[in-house]
A and B are shown apart, each in its own frame.
Chain A
Amino acid sequence: MANRSQIIGGLAFAAAAVAAPFLPDWVVSLATIAFANALVVLGLIVLWRAGLVSFGQALYYCLGGYVVALIARWTGFTDAFVLVLLGGIVGGIVAFILGFLIARYREIFFAMLSLALSMILYGVLVKTESLGSTDGFSVLTPTFIGYAPHRDALNLALYWLTLGICAFSALGVGAYFRTIAGALAAPVRDNEIRVEFLGVSVSHVIHVKVVIAGILGGLGGGLAALAIGHVDPNMAYWTTSGSFMFVAILAGAGSVAAAFVGSLLFEGVRSFAADTMPQFWQMILGTALLVTILFVPEGLGSLLLRLRRRKARPS
């Protein structure tokens, strides 16, 4: 079962990679942003499975973005892969440090504390004139192991890099979900006392999840910074976290693939709505969310699971 979903996922990523040169440029750009954001959503799903809702995942997203932008600006180093990786590492390190505090909290307290932390970063960045304050600053054009593409070629290269990192992350998170620590999410959500009395530290379990979500947030932010070519403090603002939550609700916590499909759908609907009804695009998104909650309360991922179960039954 696990192997089959890995193969299907792999084929989907391969198809997405092969199709890119034949797609219009704007679709490729949109998909790049969507997949970069999907990494952050994947991190939210890791936390959500343990019953934790983070309203501040934009903290790591923003960190990843600023790390990529600042290293390129200060050192002139522009290799996209290394920069994004550094964004992920910094996200992970910050999550590890904050984890000592945040892993002790649950439910609304966890949500509010994570929100507060991301807003602190927002506040600091807004006050920092040397980093462009609310305007932010632009990111140097990235290179790929010496190769320095422009315009359409750059878009494609970034898209492929994003796909590669997404495929790797999806594989990693999928494998993590099958380990003891990964599968402990539901027990931690259900009954912490029993988990402790089985000999496992709940706060360690949660701390690791916070770090994983931090790494994914950093990677996503780094990729987004390169794709947009600009960073600004809004990356840490609560509405950014909110849109990640939105996608997570749309996707549901049931499957890894749903994060990517959900994010693509979200970006698609958002740009379609903004294009056709510039005044009402939020209303369309809100309606989409309401419909999801009403008819597919466990998210789009649950449709996949339902399909799989239905297939399994007659055989």
Chain B
Amino acid sequence: MSDILAVRDLEKTFGSLLAARDITVSVPAHQTVGVIGANGAGKTTFVNMITGHLRPTKGSIWFEGNEITGRPSREITRLGISRSFQVAQIFPTLTVFESMCMAAAIGRHTGGFFSHIVTPLHSTEAIADAEAAIALFQIAAYRDTRALALPQGVRKLLDIGMAIAGHPRLLLLDEPTSGISIEEKFDLMQIVMSALKSRKITVLFVEHDMEIVGRFADRVLAFYDGTVIADGTPGQTLDDPKVQELISGTRLKGVAAGRAAGA
């Protein structure tokens, strides 16, 4: 099976509210998938179900040929799926280096909890991994700054950096550019995407900015009312009349065309 992620007939209900329904998607390895949709369309629910944050009501999720439906999130993380959050989840009192070192040390020792009790945190390998991650995400200037004092963009990079410290094969980014100014968005995504490409990580990212989706995704899934209404290349999805009507508005025709011309 060459698909790294396969999702079949996924459904999630909260009481009588249908948050997600009939989601069937396969993602081949090394693809970068953008996920778009209005607020409440089920994007984050989708991400939460894959990462084990929420248990699906119906359907199944397969990662590298193994079913992972309903497994706890830390188990899914250990299998090779990692995630970042809409609001960066970092350790406020730790410096960037300490945070990365912690993530790297944990990533190196997935052999059960006991190994964490006997393994020193500051192993040479973990330190090297941490320094490499800091260089990769271009945040060396903040190496010894406590996370609570970091600017928003660096927080996001730190969050994503920690997420990939365990060498996941699949990474889900929930709105990596939310809370970032328009001027900084593209640079941030550029750093993130080239870092992830260099690590050969399959990416699924939720994004509201259609320009960013058009620029960075190989494929775009459009969510509406809990389900996928369009799935294809950015050009196809963003040109889809239903997507234009329900999600993006018509102005995006130009963006998609711009991407086609630029590529």
A residues adjacent to B (C-beta < 8 A): 176, 178-184, 186-187, 189-191, 193-194, 196-201, 204-205, 208
B92 within 8 A of A: yes
Residues of A within 8 A of B214 (CB): none
Asked whether B8 is an interface residue with its Cβ less than 8 Å from the other chain, the reply is no
> Min CB distance, B103 to chain A, in Å?
6
By the criterion CB–CB under 8 Å, are B113 and A179 in contact?
Answer: no
Q: A186-B91, A190-B92, A194-B162 are in contact. Are A200 and B119 (CB under 8 A)?
A: no
Instruction: Please tell me if the beta carbons of A176 and B93 are within 8 angstroms of each other in the complex.
Output: no
With A176-B117, A190-B92, A190-B94 already in contact, the answer to whether A199 and B85 are too (CB < 8 A) is: no
Contacts of A176 in B (CB 8 A): 117
Query: How many A-B contacts if CB must be within 8 Å?
Result: 90
Contact B74 A180 (CB under 8 A): no
Tell me the nearest residue of chain A to B92, going by C-beta: A190
Asked whether B82 is an interface residue with its Cβ less than 8 Å from the other chain, the reply is yes
Q: Which residues on the A side are within 8 Å of B156 (C-beta)?
A: none
Enumerate 18 A-B pairs (CB-CB under 8 Å) in ascending A order.
A178-B121, A180-B109, A180-B116, A180-B117, A180-B121, A181-B116, A186-B91, A187-B94, A194-B89, A194-B162, A196-B73, A197-B82, A197-B163, A198-B74, A199-B75, A199-B77, A199-B106, A201-B113
Closest to B78 in A: A199
Q: Given that A178-B122, A179-B116, A179-B121 are known contacts, is A198 also in contact with B94, CB under 8 Å in the complex?
A: no
Q: Does B256 contact A (CB under 8 A)?
A: no
**In the complex, which residues of chain A have a beta carbon less than 8 angstroms from the beta carbon of B75?**
199
Residues of chain B within 8 A (CB-CB) of A182 are 117, 121
Residues of A contacting B: mostly: helix
Contact flag A197-B117 (CB < 8 Å), given A180-B106, A186-B94: no
* Residue contact B119 to A197, C-beta cutoff 8 Å: no
Report whether A200 and B82 are in contact in the complex, using a CB–CB cutoff of 8 Å. no
Contacts of A190 in B (CB 8 A): 90-94
